[in-house]
Amino acid sequence: MAVQTVATTSDSTVDLGPAAALSCRECGHRVPLGPVFACEECFGPLEIAYDFSAYDTEELRRRIEAGPASIWRYAPLLPVPADVAEKPNLNPGWTKLVKADNLARELGVTGGLYVKDDSGNPTHSFKDRVVAQALEAARAFGFTTLSCSSTGNLAGAVGAAAARAGFRSCVFIPHDLEQGKVVMAAVYGGELVGIEGNYDDVNRFCSELIGDPAGEGWGFVNVNLRPYYAEGSKTLAYEICEQLGWRLPDQIVIPIASGSQLTKIDKGLQELIKLGLVEDRPYKIFGAQAEGCSPVSTAFKAGHDVVRPQKPDTIAKSLAIGNPADGPYVLDVARRTGGAVEDVTDPEIVDAIRLLARTEGIFAETAGGVTVGVTRKLLEAGVLDPAKTTVVLNTGDGLKTLDAVAGTGLTATIRPTLDSFREAGLA
């Protein structure tokens, strides 16, 4: 396999818009923008530090509202150059916020229930949002190969983004993923490598590859480009608030895999408050896991600050990260906002997929079943307030995880006659 030789050193002159530096979330140590992800002082995660000081609130609001129907309407708040929308990329985002009145009636929600349906992205999951950020960072740092460790959705998003942008892609997945995700990742023509192990094994492999000459010059979207990549999830927060009429929801239910999405949605909401784009009022963030991979909800319920890794065993494979990198920060967010973290069983996930499909015509992948299932469980427990505006995330398309609802099929098979139709009790 040919190795690309490219510039990988930090460069303070790179143009990534308002991104000013990388800052350690743990100890605050700052380094210049570059393809690095862990703090050299304490191993903590590096995050983007921005300079938003020049923005006037109303001018920014007008600029966003006049922007493209994609995440790039929020380019002034992301680590991307100002002309990002003109570069070849998948232009993801601006997905539907569905007012789910039928589901609300079924669940007894009176304060307004919405589904943020990210199955509408180009590769049918929220991953297009994060990959789009990583792609711009990869361009800025001179990479020409995109890579990642993936539970499936990310593999497809990286493959498609690389194809559009003219990059090579080589991505790594657990060897036993759902067939739909394998096909949707492979079809874009990049290299797709199955690793004999679970996602945490794949992730470990990629982390080692990045420090080896064999991985030199590769932009791993969720490893050495992770600080940039993760910022893409902020756009979910921006869109939800803008689609609600520049208003914070009261409650948001978010799936947890690594926990990055949940923590970045919180970061996005905080930015909107600080920028004056939404009124500063309390909101609660709730995390959702599958019982078969529930390290964060286990820690939350036990009152722990430390997340003990688990060996995943669940049909919700896109959430099957047993050692979630941002788990401790999820606990911080849930506790700070007065939210919670809960989990549901595999049968409850399947029931929830069917419930959402039956009530709203939205076919969610297993991760969406997890959020809807947890929403139902938290409402029944009185933890979620039914009188509050609530947003539930569906992060992927059910066509990717058909096996989960494999028992669903024909109501009847009949001859092409009216008699047969009546005999089958369908009249």
Two structure tokens written together for 251:
């409650």
Residue 1 CA to its chain's centroid (Å)? 30
Q: Which is nearer to another protein, 262 or 269 (CB)?
A: 262
Two structure tokens written together for 69:
């129907």
Tell me if residue 195 falls in helix, strand or coil: strand
Q: Which is nearer to another protein, 21 or 414 (CB)?
A: 21
Q: Are residues 256 and 247 in contact, defined by beta-carbon separation less than 8 angstroms? A: no
Among 19, 78, 210, 356, binds another protein (CB under 8 A): 210
CA-nearest of 410, 409, 399, 323 to 363 is: 399
Two structure tokens written together for 375:
């929403």
Contact code string over 285-324 relative to another protein, x by CB under 8 A: ---------------------x-xx-x---------x-xx
Cβ of residue 183: shortest distance to another protein, in angstroms?
Answer: 23
Among 70, 133, 153, 203, binds another protein (CB under 8 A): 203
> d(Cα 360, Cα 104) in Å, to the nearest integer?
10
Cβ of residue 331: shortest distance to another protein, in angstroms?
Answer: 12
Q: Are residues 285 and 270 in contact, defined by beta-carbon separation less than 8 angstroms? A: no
- Contact set for another protein, span 74-133 (CB under 8 A): none
- 70-78, 104-112, 219-227, 397-405 -> range binding another protein (CB under 8 A): 219-227
**Binding of residue 48 to another protein (CB under 8 A):** no
Q: Which is nearer to another protein, 180 or 227 (CB)?
A: 227
- Enumerate the β-bridge partners of residue 48: 22
**Binding of residue 149 to another protein (CB under 8 A):** yes
Residue 109 CA to its chain's centroid (Å)? 25
CA distances from 43 to 36, 38, 413 (A): 11, 5, 60
Among 17, 18, 34, 45, binds another protein (CB under 8 A): 45
- Contact set for another protein, span 224-283 (CB under 8 A): 226, 230, 257-261
CA distances from 18 to 79, 171, 192, 391 (A): 6, 29, 34, 29
Phi and psi angles of residue 133, each rounded to the nearest 5 degrees, phi first: -70, -45
Contact code string over 321-340 relative to another protein, x by CB under 8 A: x-xxxx-x------------
Phi and psi angles of residue 397, each rounded to the nearest 5 degrees, phi first: -85, 135
Q: What is the total residue count of the chain?
A: 427
**Longest CA pairwise span in the chain (Å):** 77
Among 7, 30, 41, 108, binds another protein (CB under 8 A): 41
Q: Which is nearer to another protein, 194 or 211 (CB)?
A: 211
- 68-76, 175-183, 195-203, 372-380 -> range binding another protein (CB under 8 A): 195-203
- Interacting residue ranges for another protein, rule: CB under 8 A: 26, 36-46, 149, 199-201, 203-204, 206-208, 210-212, 220, 222-223, 226, 230, 257-261, 306, 308-309, 311, 321, 323-326, 328
